[in-house]
A and B are shown apart, each in its own frame.
Chain A
Amino acid sequence: MALQKIADRVIDTDVLVVGGGIGGCPTAAKATEHGLNVTLLEKSRLERSGKAGQGLDEVGIFPREGLTALEAIKIYTGSGSAAARPGARAYVNPNALYRIFTRAMWALEELERLGVNMRYTDGEYGWMPWGTGAGGRVGPRVELRVHWQNVKPEMAAGVKKKGVKVVERTTVVDLLTNKGKVVGATAINTRTGEFIVIKAKAVVLATGDLERHYNSPTPLSWKYKMGLNTCPASSSGDGHAVAYRAGADLTCMEMMRPGTIRDILLLQPGQFYLNDGISAKVFTATGEETVLPPGPLDYLELERKGLLPLYQTLEHLPDDFQKRLEIHFADEAMIRLKLTADRGFNPRTHRYQVTGDRATRFNNTGIVIDEDFMSSVPGLYGIGECTDTYGIGAGGTATAGFIVGDSIHQYVSKAGEPVPDEAQVESQKQAAMAPLTVKDGVEPMELECSVRQICEDYGGTYKSEGRLREGLRRLGSLRREFLPRLMAANPHYVGRCLEARNIMDLAELHLLASLGRKETRGLYVMLDHLQKDPSLDNKRICQRLEKGKAVLEVRDIPEIKPEYIKENR
């Protein structure tokens, strides 16, 4: 058969899961329980890959006591205020969210069955208090405190025990489609250079989010400025990019949430103090106590007055609280404690620098999915941060994974045999392998850094039409000049080239999508359109690739389905 001639290896499977993180592992493990043949593609190593590779300290998406799932969703997506404040959550598909909220407790038990330690101290669950908080924040959901430093080794063991075929150190190249349906994917082992074709009846993308089209918060990691202390491998937007190129709908690619970044080595107290009803103190650069400004325009105002940067401090908190915070740091990313100490920063007494106006790490949304987590391309599913349920955290992602794993057999049983198009496989192989033959070309990381710089200079928090157009022009010429000259001395760099191509595609889409939202709304700022565009109230902008061109389309944010309202759990 010709496929065997093109590929070094052909894998035939029922379900292909791309990405073995906190979403992919549950999906793969659960799907095997329905007698399915499951292949899990992981670009790193299952034991320590993804955002949870270093560990996690909190998990879960359980409706707060006394709230039904519907009420929790209403607060979560900020229904009433959604029009005013576009954040990730305002654009989340509420139906997918309903399924996640109503099955969170089930997912908790499933995680335990998979071998993940969910208990906090003395064999008890560590339910977080959700007080009203001095920060004035009432959450719709409850989370569990967890000691998840070893969550990935635990999950990896569970997945392997279930008989999932795990293919590691292998990066996805592109999806294979036939007659509008997904029939698998191609991939490259970035250690051996092996080109792999995976024929699959259904594909689940669980690849994490997109961050690498912007510079990371300072301080940047060494020469190539990778995101510090996160997992750079899982933030190149591979899932977004392959879905986009396969014709799937994406949404809200124009959105960047300016995060509240604390400069000091990403030691982030996070929600901890709010959960306990204790607030961090905030100071201006001149030492006056203040509160965190709500939006980017407020930061502009502070800058004009010379009051930036802002600083946050937890020095007023009692000793037992400080100790708990240290446990939380050790659970989530122990290296931070070491690096902070090296740099002479004492979290008990020093102040954290806050940079709240930079478009940084958080891309809000991605692949549009329905309540069954299927994208607009039949057979292609998405869960977690690469989808439009972004913002549901590790708990929501794991829950989504279990739900998909538990129901995907229904699609698989009637999907029919996957028949990849050989010409498509051939062209994907050529595109992926081309950098191996280029001499005196461009290093992938160098190209990636250039893409980031364009997004920084011409996109970012404070956008304008003129800048966006210039950014697109620059990206276009960068693509023409340098994409064909991407060079890979070995398979390792082929992986980085694939990432660079994905980041470039998505950066272009990001700037283009921004031109589709000519307004200022909440955290989204267009300096030459400082008013809201009422025609975008309760709408979101969707993007897809049609005949090689990006098409933008304004659509309604999905409504909660009537049967869910009737069920009202």
Chain B
Amino acid sequence: MGNVPVKIDYRKCNGCQRCYDLCPMDIFVMDESLKMPRAAYQEECGLCGICWMECPKRAIDIIYPPSMW
């Protein structure tokens, strides 16, 4: 994916589901085959940073796409 706010680093992610469990806007889904989260509804993200704050592996980064600069 290109310029989206939530980026998951799959080298660090351990599939603990914390982001999927806690996101207030429910933008994550769990990929059944990979057992990893995917930010499926990115366009609804309010950048609250809860996934970023709660990720035990620091695998999530939140960035501003240029459209928001």
Which residue numbers of A lie inside 8 Å of B, CB to CB?
44-45, 47-50, 53-54, 169, 190-191, 219-224, 226-234, 333-336, 338-339, 342-343, 445, 492, 495-496
Q: Is the CB of B24 within 8 A of A231?
A: yes
Say which residue of B21, B22, B26, B45 sits within 8 Å of A222 (CB atoms). Answer: B45
Q: How far is the CB of A232 from chain B (nearest CB, A)?
A: 4
Q: Is the CB of B24 within 8 A of A169?
A: no
Apart from A44-B23, A222-B43, list 9 A-B contacts with CB within 8 A.
A45-B23, A50-B24, A53-B24, A223-B67, A224-B44, A232-B46, A335-B48, A339-B62, A496-B44
Q: Is the CB of A335 within 8 A of B47?
A: yes
Residues of B within 8 A of A222 (CB): 4-5, 42-43, 45, 65, 67-68
Q: CB of B31 within 8 A of chain A? A: no
Residues of A within 8 A of B43 (CB): 222-224, 445
Say which residue of A169, A221, A496 sits within 8 Å of B46 (CB atoms). Answer: A221
Tell me the complex Cα distance, A491–B11, Å: 31
Tell me the complex Cα distance, A47–B53, Å: 13
Residues of A within 8 A of B46 (CB): 221, 226-232
With both beta carbons as reference points, the residue of chain B lying nearest to A149 in the complex is identified as B53
Residues of B within 8 A of A221 (CB): 5, 45-47, 68
Given that A222-B42, A223-B43, A339-B62 are contacting pairs, would A45 and B49 also be in contact in the complex, using a CB cutoff of 8 Å? no
Q: Is the CB of A230 within 8 A of B48?
A: yes
Q: CB of B10 within 8 A of chain A? A: no
Which of A191, A231, A339 has the most chain B CB within a 10 Å cutoff?
Answer: A339
Tell me the complex Cα distance, A48–B53, Å: 11
With both beta carbons as reference points, the residue of chain B lying nearest to A49 in the complex is identified as B24
Tell me the complex Cα distance, A488–B20, Å: 20
Q: Is the CB of B63 within 8 A of A54?
A: no
Residues of A within 8 A of B9 (CB): none
Given that A45-B21, A223-B43 are contacting pairs, would A339 and B64 also be in contact in the complex, using a CB cutoff of 8 Å? yes
Tell me the complex Cα distance, A222–B62, Å: 12
Given that A54-B50, A339-B64 are contacting pairs, would A233 and B24 also be in contact in the complex, using a CB cutoff of 8 Å? yes
Given that A44-B25, A45-B22, A233-B25 are contacting pairs, would A220 and B68 also be in contact in the complex, using a CB cutoff of 8 Å? yes
Given that A224-B43, A224-B44 are contacting pairs, would A333 and B49 also be in contact in the complex, using a CB cutoff of 8 Å? yes
One digit per residue, 1 when the CB lies within 8 angstroms of any chain A CB and 0 when it does not, for chain B 24-55 equals: 11100000000000000111111111101110
Which of B5, B23, B43, B44 has the most chain A CB within a 10 Å cutoff?
Answer: B44
Given that A219-B64, A222-B4, A224-B43 are contacting pairs, would A338 and B25 also be in contact in the complex, using a CB cutoff of 8 Å? no
Q: Could you give 17 example pairs across A and B, Cβ below 8 Å?
A: A47-B21, A47-B22, A53-B48, A54-B49, A221-B46, A221-B68, A222-B43, A223-B42, A224-B43, A226-B25, A226-B44, A226-B46, A231-B24, A233-B24, A335-B49, A339-B47, A339-B64
Q: How far is the CB of B1 from chain A (nearest CB, A)?
A: 12
Q: Is the CB of A229 within 8 A of B49?
A: yes
* Cβ-closest 4 pairs across A and B: A335-B49, A223-B43, A226-B46, A44-B24
With both beta carbons as reference points, the residue of chain B lying nearest to A444 in the complex is identified as B44
With both beta carbons as reference points, the residue of chain A lying nearest to B5 in the complex is identified as A222
Residues of B within 8 A of A232 (CB): 24-25, 44, 46
